């Protein structure tokens, strides 16, 4: 495929241009299929389970698809050159810093099959002439596969360059030392602390700072500084896990709520721990919190492990979680926020109506009326299913 690219007949060029224009405005369900395919398969599991990597893969796949279509609108039938766009540079940067290799580029192969199915549907709607259709499919099949091959090759080369850069300097040493500690390898404590510049004895609270928005390094840096101040810490350990995700350990047993200036950054916080075991467990809890937070689509900016521990258990099976929510809350699940918040507050205050009124700055009789309305919307009386309702309200809270 490195030889001279064959010219397409004018009629086929016209058909390609019309079809490519349709791809530039794809249906939402097709985009979702593209994303699902790009993250499917056992080899893609490390990417699919990481919110930052998963979002980067979706963004890159869609951008590549739009690039192919736009090029064929402007130059139908011509070879589409691979280009290391901003999306691709961020994606390769993140993959390498997670320790992943070229197997993660399988996303582009699996997404290609979905894109090809859409393209065939478009082509069958462009012409009834079988000879034209055959030539149209032949030319564009070559075009799509060549573009993907060229793109994957360019990304592989960029990943190799990233790995060479990463292998130099203190960041590589810190990342290696952290990996050994997290894996439970028998690395001497003194050596690990020297490479990390961080004391492993004593308390730790691990945090994942992350964003689904590229070019957010300055936001992450600001959030890290705000977090350190809120914790009252004089030092911290920071690992740049990706372009949009930092791993942080603070030598404290908890902290207050930092005032984040950037709305683009999310904080996922593990439980405080002590020593090597606490260093590991707090970090893994922070990662689990990040994954669940992203999956639930919650809008909360700061999430602690204990906040979503119950929700994680209840939503591990998404279908069963949806069924539990519907069976338990019924019409209440769609009630106004004021009513749901009143019931949630009442439950959290051990069903104390007077304290609920104080907490919500409203009259006790107003609370009673709202509770009666909520009870009427439930499939079963509140008195018979209080525990289930409390659990369902917690799940609902993290889905909004």
Domain ranges in the chain?
A: 10-166, 170-304, 315-397
Q: Is the pLDDT of residue 318 over 80?
A: no
Q: Is the pLDDT of residue 158 over 70?
A: yes
Q: Is the pLDDT of residue 317 over 70?
A: no
The model's confidence at residue 170, banded by pLDDT at 50, 70 and 90, is low
Task: Taking the CA atoms of 272, 277, 283 and 289 in sequence, report the sign of the dihedral they define.
Answer: negative
Q: Is the pLDDT of residue 19 over 60?
A: yes
The model's confidence at residue 372, banded by pLDDT at 50, 70 and 90, is very high
What pLDDT is recorded for position 2? 47
pLDDT tens digit sequence for 182-220: 888 877 788 788 888 888 988 999 999 998 887 788 888
What pLDDT is recorded for position 43? 74
Please tell me the distance from the alpha carbon of residue 315 to that of residue 208, in angstroms, as a whole number. Answer: 22
What pLDDT is recorded for position 1? 42
* Higher-scoring residue by pLDDT: 26, 360: 360
**Residue percentage of the chain with pLDDT more than 70:** 94
**Residue percentage of the chain with pLDDT more than 90:** 30
What pLDDT is recorded for position 394? 81
Q: Is the pLDDT of residue 131 over 50?
A: yes
CATH topology of domain 170-304: Alpha-Beta Plaits (3.30.70)
Q: Is the pLDDT of residue 168 over 60?
A: no
pTM of the model: 0.56
Q: Is the pLDDT of residue 163 over 80?
A: no
Which whole number is the average pLDDT over 366-376? 91
* Residue with tokens 């521990």, as numbered in its chain: 309
Token readout for 96 is 């390498």
Residue 239: C-alpha distances to residues 175, 188, 207 (Å): 7, 20, 11
pLDDT tens digit sequence for 349-362: 888 999 999 999 99
Q: Is the pLDDT of residue 278 over 90?
A: yes
Top-level class of domain 315-397: mainly alpha
The three-class DSSP label of residue 388 is helix
Radius of gyration of the chain (CA): 26
The model's confidence at residue 325, banded by pLDDT at 50, 70 and 90, is confident
pLDDT tens digit sequence for 229-268: 888 888 889 998 888 889 999 999 988 888 888 888 999 9
Which whole number is the average pLDDT over 271-289? 92
pLDDT tens digit sequence for 58-92: 888 888 889 999 999 999 999 998 887 777 888 88
Q: Is the pLDDT of residue 297 over 70?
A: no
Which of these ranges, 6-10, 36-40, 382-386, has the smallest mean pLDDT?
36-40
Task: Taking the CA atoms of 335, 338, 343 and 345 in sequence, report the sign of the dihedral they define.
Answer: positive
Q: Is the pLDDT of residue 171 over 80?
A: no
Please tell me the distance from the alpha carbon of residue 13 to that of residue 231, in angstroms, as a whole number. Answer: 62
Contacts of 154 (CB under 8 A, 6+ apart): 82, 83, 84, 88
Please tell me the distance from the alpha carbon of residue 363 to that of residue 370, in angstroms, as a whole number. Answer: 11
CATH topology of domain 10-166: Globin-like (1.10.490)
In terms of DSSP bridges, do strands 203-210 and 302-304 run parallel, antiparallel, or are they unpaired?
A: unpaired
Which whole number is the average pLDDT over 94-118? 77
User: Average pLDDT of the chain?
Assistant: 85
């Amino acid at each position: 495929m490195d030889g001279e690219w064959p010219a397409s007949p004018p009629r086929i060029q016209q058909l390609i241009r019309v079809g490519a224009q349709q791809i530039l405005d794809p249906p939402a369900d097709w985009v979702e299929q593209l994303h699902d395919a790009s993250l499917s398969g056992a080899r893609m599991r490390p990417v699919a389970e990481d919110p930052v990597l998963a979002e980067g893969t979706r963004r890159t796949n869609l951008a590549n698809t739009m690039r192919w279509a736009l090029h064929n609108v402007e130059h139908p039938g011509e070879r589409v050159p691979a280009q290391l766009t901003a999306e691709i540079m961020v994606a390769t940067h993140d993959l390498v810093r997670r320790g992943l290799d070229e197997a993660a580029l399988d996303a582009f192969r699996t997404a290609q099959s979905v894109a090809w199915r859409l393209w065939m549907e478009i082509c069958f709607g462009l012409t009834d002439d079988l000879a034209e259709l055959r030539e149209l499919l032949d030319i564009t099949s070559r075009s799509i596969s060549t573009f993907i091959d060229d793109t994957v090759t360019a990304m592989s080369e960029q990943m190799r360059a990233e790995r060479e850069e990463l292998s130099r300097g203190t960041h590589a040493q810190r990342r290696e030392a952290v990996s050994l500690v997290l894996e439970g390898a028998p690395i001497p404590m003194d050596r690990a602390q020297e490479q990390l510049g961080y004391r492993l004895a004593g308390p730790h609270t691990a945090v994942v700072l992350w964003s689904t928005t590229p070019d957010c390094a300055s936001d992450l840096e600001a959030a890290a500084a705000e977090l350190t101040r809120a914790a009252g810490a004089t030092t911290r350990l920071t690992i740049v896990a990706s372009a949009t995700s930092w791993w942080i350990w603070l030598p404290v047993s908890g902290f207050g709520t930092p005032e984040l200036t950037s709305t683009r950054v999310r904080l996922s916080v593990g439980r405080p721990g002590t020593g090597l075991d606490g260093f590991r467990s707090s970090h893994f809890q922070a990662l689990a919190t990040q994954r669940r937070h992203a999956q639930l689509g919650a809008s909360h900016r700061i999430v602690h492990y204990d906040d979503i521990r119950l929700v994680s258990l209840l939503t591990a099976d998404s279908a069963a979680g949806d069924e539990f929510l519907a069976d338990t809350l019924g019409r209440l699940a769609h009630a106004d926020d004021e009513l749901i918040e009143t019931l949630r507050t009442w439950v959290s205050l051990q069903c104390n109506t007077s304290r609920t009124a104080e907490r919500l700055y409203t009259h006790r009789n107003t609370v009673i009326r709202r509770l009666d309305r909520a009870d009427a919307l439930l499939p079963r009386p509140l008195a018979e299913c209080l525990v289930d309702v409390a659990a369902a309200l917690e799940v609902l809270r993290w889905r909004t």
